Amino acid sequence: MTLYEDISKIVGEDRVSRHELDLLCYSRDLAPMPDELLRGYGMLRPKLVAKPNTIDEVKEIMKYAYLKNIPVTLRGGATFGLGGVLPMDGGLVLDLCGMRRILEFNPEDEYVRVQTGCEWKRVIDYVEARGYTIGANPSSGPSSTIGGFISTGGSGGIGTIRHGPVGDQIVGMKVVLANGELIETDPWSSWMFVGSEGTLGIILEVTLKIFKLGKRSYLMYGFDKLDDAIRALERLCELRPYFLSLIDKNLITLLNKKGHHLPEKETVFVVDGDEAKVTEICGKGIKYREGLAREEWENRYKTILSIKGLGPTIFPPELQVPIKRFYDTILDLRGLIKNLEYGIEAMVNSDGMVSVLPTILTDERKKSEYFRVCSLTRRISNIAYKNGGCVYGIGVYNTPHMSRIHGKSLKVMRRIKKGLDPKNILNPGKTIHYKIPGIFMNLSMIAMEIIPTIMVFSLELVNYVPLRLLRLGLRFVGGKMK
Amino acid sequence: MNKQELVENIYTCASCGYCRFGCPVFSEIGFERFTARGRMLIFKRILEGKFPYTEDVFRSIYMCSQCANCEEICPTGINFIEIIDALKIDLAREGKLPESQKAMREIVREKSNPFGEAREERGAWLPKDYQVKESEALYFVGCAASYSLNRTSRSVMKILEKVKFDFTTLGNLEYCCGEPLFRMGEIGLGNELVEKNSLEFERLGVKTIFASCPGCLKNLKHKYPPEFRVLHTVQLFSELIKEGRVEFGKELNQRVIYHDGCDIGRHVGIYEEPREILQSIPGVELLEFDYNREEAICCGGPLVSQDPGIAKKIASRRVEEAVEKGADVIVTTCPTCFVNFKDGAKLVEGKVDIQEISQLLLKLLKK
């Protein structure tokens, strides 16, 4: 019996695909990584994509995969962009988006129980229509899934400043482990799976806290000077509004090219904050009319991506820094990318941390330019570390930063992984089970950065040297290239 | 859309996957090759010469109901429908239509309707003594309401006679509006029908055309000469109700849910008039789907010619939601939605009636 036949038996033939076009689509996420680089990173072609619809089906699939040592890569909306959903060891891709039902809405005990393939927008629309709202949620709500956001940490996003990271809102979960065993978690044990990027178990059902939705205020202020805006932002933090962000002047310029109508200033955006206090704190800024702010809120999922066509490629790294060092971070970033077209958005999270999202315009068709922009990852990460922060998420591309992000927990994480997934079949090649040692990835990025600078007609070299370095790295850990 | 625009659009795709949110095909088939972002990725590979342009790709292109939900939600503003249209035109030009489409093209070409009905029977639903006449207002009946769904056309006729609204139809002289041909990429053949119909419009001195079929409406608006004012019958009815020319004789003590069809909604932008009509009916409690108006989810009807099983399943989801909401009736303005909902409802346990708006209206008018 082939893998196709066996899995078809479990989920039904119409929910498996080995179609060439699907295998292509399921080998990609939101980041337009050049094929050569993905091969360099050691990604293999998946054998099959399956779309289970029930927990029992997932259990059966995992029992089978565990027995036969088949690598299983989990996939939600594929919007994280760090390669976390790429089938690094080939094998089976589990697309969990078919499981997107809202199972229970309980206003008395204030929770909602959902299948984790459900998109955030669907859950938010549902509870908001019934007078409630949700805590932390991602700015890519129409595609990002409940399971995806939880698995990638859920600490930067909308609602986090008031309600904390997504882990704080989990009442319980149902998780299928690598061997097909189903476990249920409480708030405390749920935390172990938050940010595990699908390497410890498959989160299939989540009970999330909900909160009463009152009348919200939408306030936007424009500042001439960046430091005034940031000083206001620091003080606004204490009010713990539902949403607090900074849109820098450069981003406003780009947004206005795409149909927004915002004054070109450093802009502070507050949703559901005490209006009198906000007005007092933002004394140095100009208040925009509420309708404008409301419109921006309603378009919140679209804002950043609306400038994409100007690239037409965008390079969007994400870092988290303490708010005290936010100003320095922006100055450092502006210094690094001043010759490029870019805009910066930043969202304030809980615990005084800020998610900084520089969006750099580029064109993937101009290879050497694009490689160079991609290589900025290294320097941008260094800016984060210099300012007491770190890059957000690991996936494949941020594995060189593992030890800096996790520090002493790394050893514990390895033990947990070994205990829960001894055969390393769940999301292999990610986080702690990287395929290429960080040093080789860094070297390859340095090569991508330097070669286009010193040689004009270096397309061949740009392709060759970084890949050679990655290949060396792959050999180093005994991975196979295909 | 020219080649350059096509390429820019394809590279503009952010692969963010928002397009999957309201995509009827994704919700049923669920594999990425049938989503807008999947197609854009595939097209990119084809442009870069890394992937062949094969029949599998054609199938992905045609397995789309062109409901434009993806365009509505796309943050980067890609014109997915125009891209699909442009590619279909190329495929049609090169003779690479899928077999189901080829068969439909031949039927439309020969019979001037997609059902294979006789052309001389087109006006058979009209009274025996009916005479086509010169008039400023024309009711464009369309293929569905001329043949299988002529209860709609008869209802429109009776309502308008009741309020003494003067108009004509083309009777047997009407041709298919061309929508099925434009949809498959056969624009040359589609334009032939546009010309034939336009000639008749001019001969009768028509200034305003109203259609009960949203597919015809979309086509009349976007593909016909702009000198004709084009309306949907709901716009006409809503105007007549506002003028106080329509009197209801009965109450409809039911919970009614209105389904925004994609052609009348996202493609033409008519959202409020049908709701105004329903709200003016005594006794009606109007419900809404969770996703309505610009965000409404397609019924899957246009996919019937590709895969009737999938189309039916897609419709059943919408019917299911109506049942959950406690609706007694789903009201639609579109023959495609009407038929597909009827099929889809068979897969759903709860009971809900499906009604086309003109037929419902006629039943409630004062005798």
Q: Which residue of A has its CA nearest to B79?
A: A309
Contact B140, B171 (CB under 8 A): no
ipTM over 0.90: yes
Query: For position A482, what pLDDT does the model report?
Result: 30
Asked if A312 and B16 come within 8 Å (Cβ–Cβ), the reply is: no
Q: Which of B239, B265, B297 is the last residue of a domain?
A: B239
Of chain A, the percentage scoring pLDDT greater than 90 comes to 78
Task: Over range B176-195, report the average pLDDT.
Answer: 96
CATH number for B24? 1.10.1060.10
Say how far apart CA A341 and CA A243 lie, in whole Å: 27
Residues β-bridged to residue B210? B139, B231
Position A457 scores a pLDDT of: 56
Average pLDDT of the segment spanning A120-126 = 98
Q: Do B33 and A22 touch (CB under 8 A)?
A: yes
This prediction has a pTM of: 0.94
Q: What is the pLDDT of residues A229-259, one digit of tens each?
A: 999 999 999 999 999 999 999 999 999 999 9
Are B67 and B24 in a shared domain?
Answer: yes
pLDDT band per the 50, 70, 90 thresholds, residue A459: low
Inter-chain CB proximity B11 and A365 less than 8 Å: yes
Question: B177 and B62 in one domain?
Answer: no
Separation CA A361–CA A304 (nearest Å): 11
Local confidence band at A297 (pLDDT 50, 70, 90 cut-offs): very high
What CATH number is attached to the domain comprising B336? 3.40.50.11810
- Are residues B31 and A122, on separate chains, in Cβ contact within 8 Å? no
pLDDT confidence of residue A458: 58
Beta carbons of A313 and B77 less than 8 Å apart = no
Provide the chain A residues 165-194 that lie in CB contact (below 8 A) with chain B: none
Whether B84 and B120 share a structural domain = no
Separation of alpha carbons B299 and B322, rounded Å: 12
**Residue of chain B nearest A24, judged by CA positions:** B42
pLDDT at B226 over 70: yes
Please give the helix or strand (H or E) that residue B336 lies within, else none.
helix B335-345
- Taking Cα atoms as reference points, which of A11, A299, A320 lies closest to residue B75? A299
B297 chain-A contacts, CB cut-off 8 A: none
B contacts of A122 (beta carbons < 8 Å): 21
Q: State residue A39's pLDDT score.
A: 87
Number of domains, chain B: 3
The minimal CB distance from B21 to the residues A119, A126, A258 is found for A119
Judgement on whether residues B55 and B141 belong to the same structural domain of the protein: no
Q: Two tokens at A231?
A: 């000083």
The answer to whether residue A359 neighbours chain B at the CB level (below 8 Å) is no
Give the rounded distance of the alpha carbon of A74 from its chain centre: 14
Task: Indicate the length of chain A as a whole number.
Answer: 482
Closest CA to A427 of A435, A415, A419: A435
Whether B20 sits inside 8 A of A97 (CB atoms) is yes
Please tell me which residue of chain B has the smallest CA distance to A17. B31
CA distance A307 to A349: 24
| pLDDT tens figures, A129-144 | 999 999 999 999 999 9
For B314-354, write each residue's pLDDT tens digit: 999 999 999 999 999 999 999 999 999 999 999 999 999 99
**Interval A22-71: pLDDT, tens:** 999 999 999 988 888 888 888 999 999 999 999 999 999 999 999 999 99
Closest chain A C-alpha to B20 CA, distance in angstroms: 7
Same domain (yes/no): B207, B124: yes
Q: What is the mean pLDDT of residues A320-348?
A: 97
Question: A21, A30, A115, A119: best mutation site toward chain B, by most B Cβ within 10 Å?
Answer: A21
Pair B261, B197 in one domain: no
Chain B residues with CB-CB distance to A125 below 8 A: 290-291
Same domain assignment for residues B127 and B230 = yes
B51 touches chain A (CB under 8 A): yes
Is residue B160 very low, low, confident or very high in pLDDT (cuts 50, 70, 90)? Answer: very high
Q: Considering B30, B65, B96, which residue would you say is the last residue of a domain?
A: B96
Kindly give, in sequence order, each residue whose CB lies less than 8 Å from that of residue A219, ignoring residues fewer than 6 positions away. Answer: A269, A270, A271, A273, A275, A278, A279, A282, A287, A290, A293
Assess whether pLDDT exceeds 70 at residue A478.
Answer: no
Looking at residue A480, its pLDDT comes to: 40
Sign of CA dihedral A254, A255, A259, A262: negative
Chain B residues touching residue A51 (CB < 8 angstroms): 30-31
The domain boundary, picked from B216, B239, B262, lies at: B239
Query: Does A95 touch chain B if contact means CB atoms closer than 8 Å?
Result: yes
- pLDDT at position A460 over 80: no
Please name the member of A21, A98, A309 whose beta carbon is closest to the beta carbon of B57. A21
| A408 Cβ contact partners less than 8 Å away, ≥ 6 residues apart | none
Mean pLDDT calculated for residue range B284-310: 95
**Closest C-alpha among B153, B270, B265, B143 to residue B216:** B143
- CA B260, CA B357: separation in Å to the nearest integer? 12
Q: Which residues pair with B280 in a beta bridge?
A: none
Flag whether residue B96 sits within 8 Å of chain A, measured between CB atoms. no
CATH number at residue B233: 3.40.50
The C-alpha atoms of residue B204 and residue B167 are separated, in whole angstroms, by 11
- pLDDT for residue A479: 46
Beta-carbon separation of A308 and B14 below 8 A: yes
Q: Return the number of other C-beta atoms located less than 10 Å from residue A268's C-beta.
A: 24
- Are B126 and B227 in the same domain? yes
Tell if the CB–CB gap between A35 and B50 is shorter than 8 Å.
Answer: yes
The pLDDT assigned to A36 comes to 82
Do residue B84 and residue B136 come from a single domain? no
Check residue B254 and give its pLDDT: 96
Is A29 an interface residue toward B (CB < 8 Å)? yes
String of DSSP letters for A58-85: HHHHHHHHHHHT--EEEESS--S-SSTT
Judge if B235 and B260 occupy the same domain.
no
Q: What pLDDT is stored for residue A321 in this prediction?
A: 97
pLDDT score of A445 more than 90: no
Q: Are residues B131 and B85 in the same domain?
A: no
Shared domain for B261 and B275, answered yes or no, is yes
Q: What average pLDDT does range A404-430 have in this prediction?
A: 91
Using a CB–CB cutoff of 8 Å, tell me whether B58 touches chain A.
no
Instruction: Return the residue matching tokens 């606004």.
Output: A236
Owning domain of residue B198: 100-239
Chain B nearest CA to A228, separation (Å) = 31
Total CB pairs under 8 A between chain A and B: 103
Does the pLDDT of residue A463 top 80, yes or no?
A: no
> For residue A466, which amino acid is it?
P
Task: Give the pLDDT confidence score for residue A430 in this predicted structure.
Answer: 87
Q: What is the DSSP string of A257-325?
A: HTT----SSEEEEEES--HHHHHHHTTTSEEPPHHHHHHHHHTTTTTGGGGGGGSSEEE---EEEEGGG
B4–chain A Cβ distance below 8 A for any pair: no
Express each pLDDT in B66-107 by its tens digit. Answer: 999 999 999 999 999 999 999 999 999 999 999 889 999 999
Q: Does A25 touch chain B (CB under 8 A)?
A: yes
